[in-house]
Amino acid sequence: MTTQLFDEHGRRIPFKGMRVYNQVSRQYFRTNQPNIDFGEIYNRSAEYMNLQDMVKFSAEQFANQCQAMLEGLQNDSNIANIANGIQVPFICPPMPVGIRRDKELQVFAKAVGKSFEDRFPGHDFRNITQKQAGMGEDAVVAAGSRYENFEDARCQGVVVGWYFATCLSEYDIDSQRAQMASLPPQFVLSGGVEAAAALVGCPDLLLNKEVYPHHLCLSALQDPDERFFYSFEAYGLDLRFNRRSNIMTPTVKQLSEQFAGGLTVFTVCK
């Protein structure tokens, strides 16, 4: 018996206990599917993340590896619909030694900004997190997110994969994390570095001239102050890296139709 986990738009189908803005999304906020040019993504990743001396595989091998992963998902009837949603391939450098997650996020945010502004002259990227107070401690991996699996893979070498950026649209942050227990083991909740790597390779991901795109929540990372979370988001036709409040009232957490968590699948590509 087939149990569909994702709907026709690639969104995770909510189940009992999940706090979502709409059970069936009205698709009011829409993130564009960027054109996937593996060669361009490969070149942009190498340039803006300084991967020239780390990547030992070709753009064609990168494409083949990603396509094989995607076909594996599409061949599983329970999860095949995730491929109907936003999907961005990425290349992520190995885990550096001795750097805190919040510090590495700043490095990746800089790469996102450079890629975006070079691709779209006249538009700007701003890292709002740099000016915010309360960031003196490191971010941690959220319980149940499985993000430690992604970090373990990065300890082995360069990681390639797919970032399904909006498949958890309209879920609150807690529900994005809680639903992971019901997913197959190849999925991890999306965090900072692969979302940033995807934006480096496809800087037009959040550029939408017609409707408002989602705020891309980096829900696998938990801020030291649990009242906040990290996100990439559009500001008009510009781009922002933000540390956004997760508090609606003193006793109620945020729930927004614009928020979207992501899921990541990956492999080490040596």
For residue range 214-236, list pLDDT tens digits in order: 999 999 999 888 889 999 999 99
Domain assignment present for residue 25? The answer is no
Domain assignment present for residue 29? The answer is no
Residues 179-214: pLDDT tens digits? 999 999 999 999 999 999 999 999 999 999 999 999
Domain assignment present for residue 15? The answer is no
The contacts found for 111-118 with CB under 8 angstroms, 24 or more apart, are 111/48, 111/49, 111/196, 111/200, 112/196, 112/199, 112/200, 112/203, 112/232, 112/239, 112/241, 113/239, 113/241, 114/48, 115/44, 115/48, 115/199, 115/200, 115/201, 115/203, 116/199, 116/203, 116/239
| Residue 133, pLDDT score | 46
Domain count, the chain: 1
Domain assignment present for residue 214? The answer is yes
Domain assignment present for residue 87? The answer is yes
Residues 32-70: pLDDT tens digits? 999 999 999 999 999 999 988 888 889 999 999 999 999
Domain assignment present for residue 33? The answer is no
Domain assignment present for residue 16? The answer is no
Rounded percentage of the chain residues whose pLDDT exceeds 70: 96
Domain assignment present for residue 189? The answer is yes
| Residue 131, pLDDT score | 60
Model-level pTM?
0.95
Domain that holds residue 94: 38-268
| Residue 153, pLDDT score | 96
